[in-house]
Amino acid sequence: MLLTNPHPSLAAAAAASTPTPKHGLNANRVAALTPSASHRSGGLRVSAASVAAAQPTPASPVAALSRVDVLSEALPFIQRFKGKTVVVKYGGAAMKSAELQASVIRDLVLLSCVGLRPVLVHGGGPEINSWLARVGVEPQFRNGLRVTDAVTMEVVEMVLVGKVNKQLVSLISLAGATAVGLCGKDARLLTARPSPDAASLGFVGEVTRVDPAVLHPIIASGHIPVIATVAADEAGQAYNINADTAAGEIAAAVGAEKLLLLTDVSGILADRDDPGSLVREVDVAGVRRMVAEGKVGGGMIPKVECCVRAIAQGVRTASIIDGRVPHSLLLEILTDEGTGTMITG
């Protein structure tokens, strides 16, 4: 298990944007680049701020060289992941902010354009809460899970499948790629059963089976599947499925190279009271030990369990990354440094 302090290049970005980003790109890197700076270590380092700073004037050879240099540094990572499937769970702060949403969509489209095969699995908590309020239903949660009675389940399905899913498909299309919107019910992609806590949680389900047959031709054709986490049991009853859990099961079923969970935290911390104790990389044995020692707790436990289960089923790595950091997907996939915690087998 590798414990490190936050990357120093994030200090400036943290002050300017997100509350607790752990590492990211050096905002001064592009501006400071000169034609003689041809030998560097590390991967692609880019952020919204640095891209904006690097916008060239027509007679700016240094700025032009900067952009070419960034692309050149990304090449080894593009070659490594070309043709590989990566499953991204999308939700939290990255879904609430229009700016972060645009960043995630652009990242997905870029990854698709350079030869990766992204699959997007999404929740939609804030949007669900808004629509529940419109019909006079007060949202309730137990242990971080939404209490889902019959009325709530109807709203969840309408919002996730009919609204959020199609909005994401449209945004991906506008950004220049093609997407296909699905939910767990389509082609029996996900089969569900009631949660063990069904008496208190209602129609909250677990995944019992994944049939990825519908996904293979979509992915092979270069489209991006966008999956809402509503599924049905054998009798056709709809269930609300935790998006992290669904993403992990789908990643295993399609043989993904990577699983990435976008969250509202920087990753796993060695000390939950110390934001600077980010664990950059840990193996399955190490993260299990952290759970047993109480270093991982609360809402992080189901995320870690989801990652461990996906790796046990053949996914090579699983990362818990900070969705509040602009371009966190690119940082995690196209750099050595990453932007959260990577769990390995």
* Model pLDDT for residues 122-176, shown as the tens digit of each residue: 998 788 999 999 999 998 888 778 899 999 999 999 999 999 999 999 999 999 9
- Give the Cα separation of 343 and 345 in Å (integer): 7
pLDDT of amino acid 91:
86
pLDDT of amino acid 58:
57
> The tokens 């769990």 sit on which residue?
343
Query: Does residue 10 lie within any of the structural domains?
Result: no
Residue 194 three-state SS = strand
Q: Say what the pTM is.
A: 0.80
Full residue range of the structural domain in which residue 303 is found: 83-343
Could you list the mean pLDDT of each consecutive 10-residue stretch along the chain, which spans 345 residues? 42 41 38 36 41 50 79 89 97 82 94 97 89 92 86 96 96 97 98 93 96 97 97 97 96 97 92 90 95 88 94 96 91 88 94
pLDDT of amino acid 338:
83
Query: Does residue 269 lie within any of the structural domains?
Result: yes
Task: Give the CATH number of the domain where residue 216 resides.
Answer: 3.40.1160.10
Question: pLDDT tens for residues 75-96?
Answer: 999 999 999 999 999 987 778 8
Q: How many domains does the chain have?
A: 1
Q: Which two tokens stand for residue 131?
A: 């629509």
Query: Does residue 89 lie within any of the structural domains?
Result: yes
Adjacent-strand bridge partners of 145: 142
